Chains A and B, each alone.
Chain A
Amino acid sequence: MDEHKVIDSRGSFCPGPLTDLYAAYKESKVGDVIDLLATDPAAKSDIEAWCKKSGNELVEAKEEQGYTRIIVRINTAPR
């Protein structure tokens, strides 16, 4: 069954959000969805670039109250 994980990286600057995403990705499989909550303004563009590089998908980056919810769908398992 596909998993939907929520990772809270609020309050940490780069590289915090990316480090948290990598840790979640290592434990993921194709079809899983990761919601990463971030306050670091660089998180969205970094994660978007990483998704492009790694063959995953940034589904959406939603502005919520004081943070951004970055939704990543795992399309490629870690190699």
Chain B
Amino acid sequence: MKRMQKKILILGAGTSATMLANDLASKLHKEILNGEISVEVLAENIYHTFQPANLDVAFKGANPGDFVKSEISLLNARVEYVVDAASKISLESNKVTTVSGKEVNYDYLVIATGSVADPSLLEGLEESSLNFHTGPFNAHKIWTAINELKSGTVVISIAGVPHKCPPSPIEASFLLDEFLRRKNLRNDVKIILTTPYARPYSAEPISEVVEPRLKKKGIEIMTFFNVSRVDPQAKKVYSMEGDDVSYDLLIAIPPHRGAKAVIDSGIGGKYGWVPTERDTLQIKGFENAFAMGDATDIPVSKSGVVAHLESEVVSENIIALLRNTGKLVAYNGRINCPMEVGNRHGLFVSATYTSQTQKQTPSILKYVMKKAFGIAYWVVLSGKLNIIMSLYFGKTHYPKVEGEQQAPVS
């Protein structure tokens, strides 16, 4: 008797979704060829963007088109790719409804719908600010604007947390400073960075490294500044703590939310962060459904490295469930965010659930490594560099011990 085909349905086509689909297509190739399993990706995007390059587009004038490829060209041929995003997810009935009205039943679901930087979430922000979080073509508008600057105040403002790529506001400050120095305009343009946190970078050991460098460059910092609204006429940003700052050019890190389909499905509350077990990455209360990457509510960075490492955990766990081995694995919360700190120096913000990031000396080598990751990105998505990446990251997941809780942070 022919067995029923099992469907693994992946929602989204960003870093984690692409890596997971390719990994499953490779590890389950026999089952896929036999027709026992299908791996289907549902997403609205035809194109895939290398998002960290948005900084280079905004502050170095890189060509935005250079960091975009067609998603289909990045996926293993055994993956079914359907350009039709989910509009409703029903975890209880193992079913997804798409924007075109199609109903798709699944055996295993992965929500990898990412985060959306949404300036409309804050009064006055959309009409008053530019940003490098809503795609390379919007980032290019910053490049145009800073080339027209002659004097005044540029405010770089973290207008909502959590947001993608936590180091990016600091990097933007350094890169803008470098740009203005090259143009001999630094004495005429003030740079102010506003942050909701107690210090320039949220993690104290990293802040201790970047704060003196920011001061040396004359970049002003306003801490505990949670943006509450922007007045585009008065050109002022206001905080819920009662401060305000005037700007001539406002570069904002917009508030983020989960995907519309997630919010519309009543998953993850007002902002749509999927409630996710931080070890196995199963959606809370559902053995056969997972979330990964920016889409989750896990308290780790929303970043490409996390998306990459989480996709490995989800791949192993889906295969364990499919093969009924009972051998689930647990993610250790590893993050590894590269940060440019000016003068072609870089560092890596690295931590796990149980070990905090450490103070470190920025170096040219780390800057080069960051750039090398950027070049390798498209190949990493295919899984062809898995061995090298595993050697670099070390072990980032472990066999899940039933009933074991994550060790408390000490």
Contact = CB atoms under 8 A, between A and B. Distances in A.
Nearest to B335: A13
B196 A22 contact: yes
24 contacts: A11-B278, A11-B409, A12-B409, A13-B356, A13-B409, A14-B197, A14-B203, A14-B204, A15-B161, A15-B197, A15-B202, A16-B299, A18-B198, A18-B202, A22-B226, A25-B240, A26-B240, A39-B408, A45-B198, A46-B197, A53-B224, A55-B241, A78-B240, A79-B242
Nearest to A56: B241
A54 to B, nearest CB: 4
A8 to B, nearest CB: 11
List 7 tightest A-B contacts by C-beta distance, closest first: A12-B299, A15-B202, A78-B240, A16-B299, A39-B409, A54-B241, A53-B224
B239 interface: yes
A32 interface: no
Nearest to A25: B240
Interface in B354-410: 356-357, 406, 408-410
B299 A50 contact: no
Interface of B: 161-162, 196-198, 202-204, 223-224, 226, 228, 238-242, 278, 299, 351, 353, 356-357, 406, 408-410
Interface in A1-36: 9-16, 18-19, 22, 25-26
B237 to A, nearest CB: 12
A interface residue count range (under 10 / 10 to 19 / 20 to 34 / 35 or more): 20 to 34
Contact of B408 (A10, A18, A45): A10
B296 to A, nearest CB: 13
Nearest to B410: A39
A10 B253 CA distance: 26
Looking at B228, B239, B241, the one whose CB has the most chain A CB atoms below 10 A away is B241
A78 B353 contact: no
A22 B223 CA distance: 14
Contacts of A78: 226, 228, 240
A22 B226 CA distance: 8
A79 B198 contact: no
A53 B204 contact: no
Contact of B203 (A13, A50, A53): A13
B137 to A, nearest CB: 29
Contacts of B242: 54-55, 76, 79
Interface string A41-69: 01001100110011100000000001100
Contacts of A18: 196-198, 202
A11 B202 contact: no
A62 B252 CA distance: 37
A34 to B, nearest CB: 14
Contacts of B161: 15, 19, 22
A76 B239 CA distance: 13
A46 B240 contact: no
A54 B224 contact: yes
A67 to B, nearest CB: 7
